[in-house]
A and B are shown apart, each in its own frame.
Chain A
Amino acid sequence: DTGVSQDPRHKITKRGQNVTFRCDPISEHNRLYWYRQTLGQGPEFLTYFQNEAQLEKSRLLSDRFSAERPKGSFSTLEIQRTEQGDSAMYLCASSPTPTGLNEQFFGPGTRLTVL
Chain B
Amino acid sequence: DAKTTQPTSMDCAEGRAANLPCNHSTISGNEYVYWYRQIHSQGPQYIIHGLKNNETNEMASLIITEDRKSSTLILPHATLRDTAVYYCIVRGLSGNTGKLIFGQGTTLQVKP
Q: Indicate which residue in A41, A101, A108 contacts B43 across the interface (CB closer than 8 Å).
A: A108
- What is the minimal beta-carbon distance from A58 to any residue of chain B, in angstroms? 8
- A109 close to B43 (CB less than 8 A): yes
- A14-22, A42-50, A61-69, A75-83: which lies at the B interface? A42-50
- B43 close to A106 (CB less than 8 A): yes
- A103 close to B44 (CB less than 8 A): no
- B49 close to A48 (CB less than 8 A): no
Please name all residues of chain A whose beta carbon is closer than 8 Å to the beta carbon of B32 when the two chains form the complex. 101
A-B residue pair count with CB separations less than 8 angstroms: 64
- A108 close to B100 (CB less than 8 A): no
Per-position 1/0 for A8-40, Cβ under 8 A of B: 000000000000000000000001010100001
Expressed in whole angstroms, the Cα–Cα distance for A53 and B12 within the complex equals 44
- What is the minimal beta-carbon distance from B35 to any residue of chain A, in angstroms? 10
- What is the minimal beta-carbon distance from A103 to any residue of chain B, in angstroms? 4
Given the interface contacts A42-B105, A100-B93, A101-B32, does A48 sit within 8 Å of B98 by beta carbon?
Answer: yes
